Structure 1
Amino acid sequence: MFKKSAKYLIALSLTVSSSVVMAHGGATGIVKERMDAMGDMKDSMKEVSDMFKGKAPYDVDKVREAAEIIKGHSGNALTKLFPEGSMQHPTEAKPNIWDEWDRFTKLADHLGVLGEGLIKAAGNTEAPNEDKGMMGDSGMMGNGHMMGNDHMMGGSSMMGGHMVHTAEEYGKMPVEMVFNMVSDNCSSCHTRFRKEKE
């Protein structure tokens, strides 16, 4: 019985290990660490996005948990995963990260501020509109947002005619708006610093 169980566990662990390796194309070391971190954030973003798309019920606690993961992988926790020259296969990082380190660092730091803002804003919901998500036609901030793709470069956003800089200020906004800002921040970073998938 024990031999049968042991064989099953070995086979299972090999299957799990190989699927993890396949998911990252054989990444090891720091490249694997950052790909794992990006995967955690991607999963968290998808979970919250599904709530706003009406694919899952809105859950304040799950939004806060997802925001904690995003915040936990931001700032120095993110930038330390990109030591200069870490371009081993199968990295998706572009070498310009190190040429534009200040810009990359600002995006990483601002992601932390937005993550904390999302934690604080999680309870700021509006009544869902069945076909249009929680904020109606605007779809988070949709096409009507004021900031464009590089809006996070300065680490602030517009709200009510003044610049927003702190997690506390973001925490007073509608949650879906803050979530969209997190998404925009991620997109700005990916557009600038991640290779296109082939």
Structure 2
Amino acid sequence: MTCSKLLTGAALASLISVAAYAHSGATGVVKERMDGMDAMKASMKLLAPMMQGQTPYDAAVVREEAQTIQTHAGEVLTGLFPKGTDGHPSDAKPEIWADWEGFADLALRLETYSQGLALAAENGLMMAGAEGTGMMSSGAMMGATAMGAGGMMGGQTMGGPRSAEALQQMPADAVFTMLSQTCSACHTRFRKE
């Protein structure tokens, strides 16, 4: 076995043991939400290198992983955070319940952006990939700019959430950026380190 395969195996074993430790003692709704977060994390880890052009783009995989995220977002996600379910082994900050409206807004955005990503999967990446075939049409790129694929301000995407149907017109990587910014904003505000 090569050294890199050994290191990759060791890193994977380490991640599994960390996840197992983090879930030790978790039961009921806390375990359910941890499992849901793990599923979304796995989808994001699969999608991120694809969206960055590091692995081949596959619209079917993008659609499937976006749908996985969608099944754990929105009201499904907020339903897994009843009052009194913070504290060990949960990573939830009390701010979730102090700012329930902000938390629910991010959960809804996550749902909308994952739906939009599934719908935009066929659009591919803004840059046409490693073959150097050029950029997407100027109309698609203008749509991505006008739709607000830009950064987050105060944990919210500029211009607020879009409809999944409007996101369908954007390049998949632009929608993915909005999705990942939403994950990051939620973790920053509502998850213990």
**If the length of structure 2 is used for normalisation, what is the TM-score?**
0.75
Structure with bigger gyration radius? 1
- Alpha-carbon RMSD across the aligned residues, in angstroms, is 2.7
Alignment of 1:16-35 (within 5 A): 21-35=20-34
Letter of the structure 2 residue corresponding to residue 94 of structure 1: K
**1:30-109 alignment to 2 at 5 Å?**
30-109=29-108
1:112-151 to structure 2, matched below 5 A, reads 112-126=111-125, 127-129=128-130, 145-151=150-156
Moved runs in structure 1, 4+ residues, more than 4 A?
18-21
| Range that drifts further, 55-64 or 178-187 | 55-64
Q: Is 1:184 equivalent to 2:186 in the alignment?
A: no
Q: How many residues get paired?
A: 163
- Measure the CA separation in 1 of the matches of 2:87 and 2:117: 33
* Contact 1:64 1:118 (C-alpha < 8 Å) held by counterparts: yes
Distance 2:42 2:112 in 1: 19
Structure 2: tracts of 5 or more residues without a match: 1-15, 137-143
- 1:155 aligns to 2:156 (yes or no): no
Contact 2:57 2:124 in 1 (8 A): no
| TM-score, normalised relative to structure 1 | 0.73
Look up the SS of the partner of 2:153 in the other structure: coil
**Aligned equivalents of 2:192 and 2:37: distance in 1?**
14
> How many Å apart are 1:129 and its aligned residue?
4.5
Deviation at 1:189, TM superposition (A): 0.6
Q: What is the match of residue 161 of structure 1?
A: none
What's the offset of the Cα at 1:146? Answer: 4.4
Deviations 1:124-153 (A, max 9, x none): 12411479xx99xxxx99xx9344352249
Structure 1 residue 91: Cα displacement: 0.6
Aligned-pair CA distance for 1:84: 0.4
The question of whether the paired residues in 2 share the 8 Å contact of 1:107 and 1:153 is answered with: no
Whole-angstrom CA distance in 1 between matches of 2:67 and 2:151:
26
**Conserved in 1, the CA contact under 8 Å of 2:151 and 2:157?**
no
Is the Cα–Cα contact under 8 Å of residues 107 and 155 in structure 1 kept in the other structure? no
Task: Give CA-to-partner distance per residue, 1:99-148, whole Å, 9 cap, x none.
Answer: 100111111111111111001100112411479xx99xxxx99xx93443
> Structure 1 regions of 5+ residues with no counterpart?
1-17, 157-164
Q: State percent identity of aligned pairs.
A: 49
Partner of 2:55, secondary structure, is coil
Q: Distance in 1 between matches of 2:50 and 2:175?
A: 14
Secondary structure of the residue that 1:123 maps to in structure 2? helix
Amino acid at match of 1:148: M
